Amino acid sequence: MLDKKLINEFEREKMQVEINKEVCKRWIEIDEISKKLCHDNCRWYHGAWCLLKCLDLVAGAVLFYKFYHKEIASLNVERLAVVGTAGISTPVLLSKLQPKAKLDVIDICPTPLKACEMYAKENGLIWNFRQQDMIKGFEPIKAYDLVVNDAFITLFRDLDKAIILKNIAKLLNPKGYYITTLRKGAYEGEVYKAEQKVQDTFVNNALIRSQEMAFEEKEFIRKKAKDYTATMTNYPMDSMENVKKLFNSNGFQVVSIDETEIIGESGNTIYFQVVAQREEEVLS
């Protein structure tokens, strides 16, 4: 009998190949779409993500496959949502782990929604899409058994993290689950941005890998990688205790939390892996 760890690793690798094949197929198309659909303040991100994922330079939900498989595959879920997605990675993962559940993809930007829509259509999947700002003009649904995203709230300042958590709680049925990851770092409450040396390495890696893949758009790739790494910021949390405090103060009770090391956007990065359950009553 095959070891369970080997089976999980095989499934993770197979899914990674599928996702990379998809993003490599249409990264130029997604960049063109982003010119029409993205606001200026997010095009550097959503216009570049498919390309950088194709070059294996950005992290994604599949890198946390063991965690998500353990926590999600056995849940009784009728309806679930991905809230905040850079591309197809998290929706594809969830559609594999919960194939019978109704899946909604929610994001403020129409570009990743369009990328997911194209993937779903080509693969005969029925996904629903909703453009939604999780901070301003939020409309609660209270319809989901499960909400999942990957390092999403790491992108926001602490005050906005609290607002987003309360709003995610309002999307969930009572006792529904929110399963996610957060970046760890010694920058509690402060912005983290890669140092220049790390940025230069990122751009150089993009050029090396694009050459290995026989891409001809050298200057285009250089600019995309440079803009991405120079602009990318996040707001890590420094301890499990502070993560628990944040969640438990904003509509959730943390069921479990641990740490894992992942090869991320700028080398190896520590992430918190969090399973939280919505409280019965969520305050406005």
pLDDT of residue 269: 86
pLDDT of residue 178: 98
pLDDT single digits (tens) 52-111: 988 988 888 888 999 999 999 999 999 999 999 988 999 999 999 999 999 999 999 999
pLDDT of residue 188: 60
pLDDT of residue 1: 43
108 by Cβ neighbours in 10 Å (0-12 / 13-18 / 19+) ranks as middle
Contact 276, 255 (CB under 8 A): yes
CA torsion 249-250-253-254 (nearest 10°) is: -90
Please give the structure tokens belonging to residue 116.
Answer: 């997911």
Q: Which of 164, 146, 179, 171 is nearest to 67 (CA)?
A: 179
Distances (CA, A) of 115 to 61, 81, 164, 265: 16, 16, 24, 21
pLDDT of residue 8: 66
pLDDT of residue 267: 66
Cα angle at 241 between 265 and 264, to 5 degrees?
Answer: 10
Dihedral sign, CA of 172, 177, 182, 188? Answer: positive
pLDDT of residue 266: 61
pLDDT of residue 6: 58
pLDDT of residue 2: 46
Question: What parts of the chain have a pLDDT lower than 70?
Answer: 1-8, 10, 187-189, 264-267, 282-284
